[in-house]
Amino acid sequence: MNTGSDDRGGVVVAIDEAGEMKTGEERAERGLGSRAPRFVRSRRVLHLSWQVGVFVIGLAVVAAGIVMLPLPGPGWVVIFGGMAIWATEFVWAQLVLRWTKRKVTEAAQRALDPRVRRRNIALTVIGLVTIGVLVGIYLWKFGLVMPWKIENQ
């Protein structure tokens, strides 16, 4: 698919395989299904092996993301990357990604609402003050004792 701008006010368009121009919104709502090359889709055994390969690669990426959740690394980003790999072939993954994108967009819009931002800042300040008071009470009562300096009694 080739992209470029037309002479209608700089709107970015794409030219699909049929030679038709599509805007960004039309491309975002393209149909569900396999994105495999046409010659792969036309041969059943080749298409099935293509799907198995895509599934295995996506599974490896998702598994790496799951491992990164408790370990250092961008776990959720890698998991969604694996889902995007699966979405090139499987309708269920395309639907999950569309739902996720919609929810993330809605959450971002809610987070930009000034009332929600003020509430979140107030809750953060209250939480930090509470933690500070609790740490202060603990230090006042027990003092600062490092674990490596504890003596056996």
With respect to residue 152, please indicate whether it lies within any of the assigned structural domains. Answer: no
Residues 24 and 82 in one domain: no
Residues 89 and 117 in one domain: no
Instruction: Give the predicted TM-score (pTM) of the model.
Output: 0.51
Residues 48 and 87 in one domain: yes
Helical H segments across the chain, by residue range: 24-28, 38-41, 44-68, 75-87, 91-111, 114-142
With respect to residue 153, please indicate whether it lies within any of the assigned structural domains. Answer: no
- Written as tens digits, the pLDDT of the chain (153 aa) is 444 444 444 444 455 554 454 555 544 556 676 777 777 777 788 878 888 888 999 999 999 999 999 888 888 899 989 988 898 888 888 898 899 889 989 988 887 888 888 998 999 999 999 999 999 999 988 888 766 666 665
Residue span of the structural domain in which 14 resides:
1-30
Residues 48 and 85 in one domain: yes
Separation CA 100–CA 106 (nearest Å): 10
Number of structural domains (the chain) is: 3
